Amino acid sequence: MDARKESPVSTATVTPAGQLSIPESRITGGRLRDDFRGMNVVWRRELIRFARNRVRIITALVQPVLFLFVLGTGLSPVLKGGPHGFDFKTFLFPGILGMTVLFTAMFSAISIVWDREFGFMREMLVAPVRRSALVVGKCAGGATVATLQGAIIIVLAGLVGVPYSPILILTLLGEMALTAFGVTALGVLIAARMSQVESFQFVMQLLVLPMFFLSGAVFPLADLPQWLAVLTRLDPLSYAIAPMRTAVFEHIQVAPSLLKTLEPAITWDGWRVPLGLELGLIAAAGVGLLFAAVAQFSRPE
């Protein structure tokens, strides 16, 4: 607004007829400002919708809680067979954070499909705002919402033997945000190409579930048969779960022998992939997908 202060007609005036005229000099703002405003609208809307839809927040908690406390408790005796009693739920915890982020972010992104047909997104698409700004706003919004949903799961950490260490919590939040951004960008890219709401099931069954199961969220990526080992390394989500698990295991006491089984590093042909590269891969994938999503969304009809 400051940039346009020099304009002599910069204040809105009310004509005698009661009609408010907004001087055109005021509504033709700079491109960047327009884009930023558009981004901000998409992001804020995503947050408001998240906060208002309590049912969705609670429903989205059911699946992680089932995995963590039912699957985790059920499988714990198997692991306790060893000399160092270990709670399988602790192992599962970072995987469940990843799962929460994956599902929440993907759902938020795919919602574009019906939002574009029947919702507010249509209204945004006719506004004088570049589509790229809307896509960036959507990715930021989806990432924020998914991270918030993951933060709710972090609250449960104490119940599964994970300490409430501020450093650990911040690390996990950061890693979740990075993952959420990448997943949302992937979802938006898919949504841009999807014409029917019904395709959502395909995406869930053919993409999201395989990504989840192959990521090492529910089992350690060690001593796997060759075919499965290859698939897990092709799954980008593996590189998002591993850093979160590393962070958790750095904050608990585990016998070294058990650590080797439960927190094996991801290797490429025997080479240990460093943490920084794992995070870098996720970030690079996120940015690449974002550009692809922008390009896909900006095609004129």
Partner 1 sequence: MGSPPPSTVSFSVAANLQIGSPRTADPAVEVIDLHKRYGDLTAVQGISLIVAPGETFGFLGPNGAGKSTTIKMLCTLVVPTSGTARVAGYDVVTARNEVRRRIGLVFQDTTLDDYLTAEENLRFHADLYGVPRAAVKSRLQEVMEMVGLWDRRKSEVKTFSGGMKRRLEIGRGLLHAPRVLFLDEPTVGLDPQTRNHIWNYIHELRKREDITIFLTTHYMDEAENCDRIAIIDNGQIVAVDTPEALKASIGKDRVEIQTDSNNGAIEALKDRFGLDATESEGAIAFHVDGGEQFVPLLFSEFSIPIRSVRVARPTLDDVFMNYTGRTIRDAESSAGERMATNPWMRARNRR
> Cβ distance 162 to 248 under 8 Å?
yes
Contact flag: residue 92 with partner 1 (CB under 8 A): no
Q: Residue 81 CB: number of other CB atoms within 10 A?
A: 7
Contact flag: residue 284 with partner 1 (CB under 8 A): no
Contact flag: residue 29 with partner 1 (CB under 8 A): yes
H/E element, 116: helix 112-118
Contact flag: residue 257 with partner 1 (CB under 8 A): no
Q: Give the separation between CA 22 and CA 14, rounded to whole angstroms.
A: 9
Query: Of 9, 53, 155, 250, which one interacts with partner 1 (CB under 8 A)?
Result: 53
For partner 1 (CB under 8 A), the number of binding residues is: 46
Min dist. Cβ of residue 117 to partner 1 (A)? 7
Query: Of 24, 198, 223, 269, which one interacts with partner 1 (CB under 8 A)?
Result: 24
Contact flag: residue 267 with partner 1 (CB under 8 A): no
Q: Could you tell me which stretch among 9-17, 143-151, 270-278, 279-287 binds partner 1 (CB under 8 A)?
A: 9-17
Query: Of 9, 28, 167, 257, which one interacts with partner 1 (CB under 8 A)?
Result: 28
Which C-beta is closer to partner 1: that of 195 or that of 253? 195
Query: Of 33, 80, 193, 272, which one interacts with partner 1 (CB under 8 A)?
Result: 33
Q: Give the separation between CA 254 and CA 157, rounded to whole angstroms.
A: 17
Contact flag: residue 47 with partner 1 (CB under 8 A): no
* CA max distance for the chain: 87
Query: Of 9, 32, 52, 84, which one interacts with partner 1 (CB under 8 A)?
Result: 52
Task: Strands of 37-160 (E only): list them.
Answer: none
> Cβ distance 110 to 200 under 8 Å?
yes
**Residue that has been written with the tokens 């499965």 in this structure:** 228
Site string for partner 1, 232-251 (x = CB under 8 A): --------------------
Query: Of 2, 5, 16, 17, which one interacts with partner 1 (CB under 8 A)?
Result: 17
Q: Could you tell me which stretch among 18-26, 182-190, 206-214, 283-291 binds partner 1 (CB under 8 A)?
A: 18-26
DSSP letter at 12? -
Non-local (6+) Cβ contacts of 50 within 8 A are 56, 57, 145, 148, 149
**Residue that has been written with the tokens 């999807």 in this structure:** 194
Q: Give the separation between CA 184 and CA 153, rounded to whole angstroms.
A: 19
Query: Of 40, 73, 199, 261, which one interacts with partner 1 (CB under 8 A)?
Result: 40
Q: Is the dihedral of CA 86, 88, 89, 94 positive or negative?
A: positive
Give the footprint of partner 1 on residues 183-222 (CB under 8 A): 195
For 275-297, the DSSP string reads HHHHHHHHHHHHHHHHHHHHHHH
Q: Tokens in use for 111?
A: 């919602």
Alpha carbon 258 to its chain centroid, in Å, reads 30
Phi/psi at 21 (nearest 5 deg)? -105, 130
Site string for partner 1, 108-147 (x = CB under 8 A): ---------xxxxxxxxxxxxxx-----------------
Contact flag: residue 26 with partner 1 (CB under 8 A): yes
The residues of the shown chain that bind partner 1, judged by CB under 8 A, are: 1, 10-12, 14, 17-22, 24-29, 33-34, 37-38, 40-41, 44-45, 48-49, 52-53, 117-130, 195, 300-301
